Structure 1
């Protein structure tokens, strides 16, 4: 038997078996993780059939692009709005104002309405999303 003395020794490591082992471990990890995840049980409250006992007045103020104000769809000026809000607050102390600013409206018009509501102590909310939807 002849021994080949001209053969060069291997100076690299064959990583293919190590990659095979890594892939097998990855698959086992994925399978074990998905098998151990369980769904959450959520109890959603059911609505009652009874109407709400308290309903408070709501005024929707729209600040239009040209600076005009609409109160529940009717045009109104800022000077006319103050006594209207005071009268509504006198009728219902927990009344609210929903402020809806059109996309192209000047920010100053919205701030003027917010300042008025703060000065009168009126609850307010902002309607977000696209105007008119």
Structure 2
């Protein structure tokens, strides 16, 4: 009779306890990392004593259906528009300008006005997309 109780060598390793240990260490790492971060330190800008909302006049250039130009409702030519915008920019270097083009007008006229604003160093230029009452 042969005894069947002989010890056989194991050919596999049980990795379950090692995985349990790895998961516990991962949880401890996550908890300790998030507990050490209290918040972000941000240097916020300080308010100045100047008035916060200065009202500045916006020059509205309208290009009508026939290609004529108006500045705040007054009709003028391209040369007159450039001279008036130059004078306004000399008075207020941070002036704003809005360009309202009629839907039927050739877009090249709008581009000419934008180019003129670039030559005059007017940086606050907007395109009006809704009807305005000027």
Do both proteins adopt the same fold according to a TM-score greater than 0.5, normalized to the shorter chain? yes
* Residue 120 (structure 2) aligns with: 120
CA contact (8 A) 1:62 1:99 kept: yes
Aligned length: 83
Gaps of 5+ in 2: 1-50
Distance 1:129 1:53 in 2: 24
* Residue 96 (structure 1) aligns with: 96
After superposition, the C-alpha distances for 1:14-60 in whole angstroms (9 at most, x for unaligned) are: xxxxxxxxxxxxxxxxxxxxxxxxxxxxxxxxxxxxx8642222100
Gaps of 5+ in 1: 1-50
* Residue 87 (structure 1) aligns with: 87
Q: CA deviation at 1:109?
A: 0.9
TM-score, length-scaled by structure 1: 0.57
Q: CA deviation at 1:108?
A: 1.2
SS in 2 for 1:60: strand
CA contact (8 A) 1:57 1:92 kept: no
TM-score, length-scaled by structure 2: 0.56
Distance 1:131 1:102 in 2: 11
Distance 1:65 1:53 in 2: 35
CA contact (8 A) 1:57 1:95 kept: yes
| Cα root mean square deviation, aligned | 2.0
SS in 1 for 2:116: helix
